[in-house]
Amino acid sequence: MIKALVTGGTGFVGSHIARELRQRGYQVRVLRRATSRLDAIADLEVEHAIGDILDFDSLLAAMDGVDWVFHTAAVADYWRNEPDWIYRVNVDGTRNVLRAAEQMDVRRVIFTSSAASIGYRTDLRPVDETVRFNWDPRLTPYGHSKFLAEAEVYRAIRRGLDCVILNPAVILGPGDLNQISSSTVIEVARDHVPPTVPPGGVTLIDVRDVAAAHVTAAERGRTGERYLLGAVDVTHKAWMRLTADAVGKPARPVTLPAPVVWLLAALADLARRAGVRLPLEGNQLRLSTRMLFYNCAKSWRELGEPRVPIQQSIRDTYAWYRSRGEI
């Protein structure tokens, strides 16, 4: 029977991948720190390997007897971390995972990248997997770190390692312990409904669809391919109104002009440099003025279409946080 290792297996995406693997009958081992919270996998029958992707020896031990490695461990809450740490974990950590997989004769590595590692177009044509990263790295150190991590994956492929890359867009759903994308649900439920929103938009997808795509990619994804994962494109205004409707709160946000958002971004940068802790940072605001929509037809065709409607995803997220007493 195939045994899979999930790095970051106690986190948002990793725990759902572990759950999906178990549902399909695979054996699962999760790599975690000794201090990791186990809430998300407490009910799962999995093996535990204590270690860290920056500790090469712990990776070798964790991969002993493993067929597949799902590498999901990363710094995703980039606005809470400094760029140096983002690059160290996301790039150096990925390099360690790949080297360990090669040394331990792992059959396949499924790498969780991000839609942020893909570039933008200026001609209004859909952005797909072929669009190379062309953002200013200073605007998105997280996206740049994932782009560099993918470069490490391609180097490993050229050395003979079987790898598949998945690029999820914005992920929603129950189990977001660290309150990354799903934090919007908490804020709205607490009556922190902003009167204004930025003019851009994003592609959304439920975490359970992301997990299913990962396991299917391990089963039949094509070596060396990137797969954008997304379900629906929404503006920030539509996202806010969907969230407010799901939690039973009124919301009629006004869309701010992009120049006003850029001014707010500059003020956020000044506050950050002054040591003021904010729930967002300047580059987040700058990116929020863009329509970050992605063409996910390739993953729909080869890995399966998303099944969880975004309205249901938001409702399930709300119910999950309520069950934990967080709202």
| Whole-number Å distance between alpha carbons of 10 and 33 | 9
- List the CATH number of the domain containing 129: 3.40.50.720
Contact 31, 62 (CB under 8 A): yes
Q: Is the pLDDT of residue 293 over 90?
A: yes
Lowest mean pLDDT among 169-173, 234-238, 273-277, 294-298: 273-277
Domain range for 74: 3-172+205-230+294-308
In-domain check, residue 152? yes
Q: Which two tokens stand for residue 183?
A: 């934090």
* Average pLDDT of span 286-290: 89
* Average pLDDT of span 132-138: 92
DSSP for 247-314, please give it: HT----PEEPPHHHHHHHHHHHHHHHHTT---SS-HHHHHHTTSEE-B--HHHHHHH----S-HHHHH
Please report the pLDDT score of residue 316 as a whole number: 95
What pTM was computed for the model?
A: 0.94
Q: Which two tokens stand for residue 109?
A: 């590595």
The one-character DSSP state at 257 is: P
298 classed as catalytic? no
In-domain check, residue 129? yes
Percent of the chain with pLDDT over 90: 71
In-domain check, residue 253? no
Lowest mean pLDDT among 40-54, 84-98, 135-149, 183-197: 183-197
Please report the pLDDT score of residue 189 as a whole number: 86
Lowest mean pLDDT among 31-40, 113-122, 156-165: 31-40
* Average pLDDT of span 54-61: 97
Please report the pLDDT score of residue 124 as a whole number: 74
Instruction: Specify the higher pLDDT residue, 32 or 189.
Output: 32
* pLDDT band at residue 275 under the 50/70/90 scheme: confident
Q: pLDDT tens digits, residue range 65-123?
A: 999 999 999 987 766 778 899 999 999 999 999 999 999 999 999 999 999 999 998 88
Please report the pLDDT score of residue 78 as a whole number: 66
Please report the pLDDT score of residue 4 as a whole number: 98
| Whole-number Å distance between alpha carbons of 276 and 25 | 48
- Catalytically annotated residue among 3, 146, 249, 298: 146
In-domain check, residue 236? no
Contact 198, 289 (CB under 8 A): yes
Q: pLDDT tens digits, residue range 182-217?
A: 888 988 888 887 888 999 999 999 999 999 999 999
* Average pLDDT of span 302-309: 97
* Average pLDDT of span 273-298: 86
Residue 91: alpha-carbon gap to chain centroid = 15
In-domain check, residue 97? yes
Q: Is the pLDDT of residue 276 over 80?
A: no
Q: Which residues pair with 226 in a beta bridge?
A: 165
Please report the pLDDT score of residue 79 as a whole number: 64
| Whole-number Å distance between alpha carbons of 263 and 253 | 19
- The number of folded domains in the chain is 1
Q: Report which secondary-structure segment, H or E, holds 251.
A: none
Contact 294, 127 (CB under 8 A): yes
In-domain check, residue 84? yes
Beta strands in the chain (DSSP E): 3-7, 27-32, 47-50, 68-71, 108-112, 163-168, 170-172, 196-197, 201-206, 226-229, 232-235, 254-255, 291-292
Q: Is the pLDDT of residue 125 over 90?
A: no
Q: pLDDT tens digits, residue range 224-257?
A: 999 999 999 999 999 999 999 998 888 888 899 9
In-domain check, residue 137? yes
Letter for the amino acid at 326? E
In-domain check, residue 240? no
DSSP for 76-88, please give it: --GGGS-HHHHHI
Q: pLDDT tens digits, residue range 261-274?
A: 899 888 888 888 88
